[in-house]
Amino acid sequence: MIFRTIDIDITPTIVEFAEHFCEMDADEQADFFSTVAELSHTWKAPVELQLNNISASLSLSIDGRRLMEKIGVYAEMEETK
């Protein structure tokens, strides 16, 4: 009998990742952002620098920028409650 072990390394595309995020419910999306916050402490630069780099990226569409702004507005509203 022949046995084989096969390792498959698959990296989701940006579209697949975004589609999966959009399929999450509100609690799952909240968990996602909480997890990103936890993992961001391992980054070599502060979160603010990364957000600045995202904002300056030519890859960020107008719709993407508007979504980031909405997230910021809603996050601020919740902090003031």
Q: Kindly list the domain boundaries of the chain, sorted by start residue.
A: 26-79
Q: Which residues contact 60 (CB under 8 A, 6 or more apart)?
A: 54, 68
List pLDDT tens digits, range 34-72. Answer: 999 999 999 988 999 999 999 999 999 999 999 999 999
DSSP string, 39-75: HGGGSSS-HHHHHHHHHH-TT--HHHHHHHHHHHHHH
Whole-prediction pTM? 0.76
Q: If you ran DSSP here, which 8-state letter would residue 8 be given? A: -
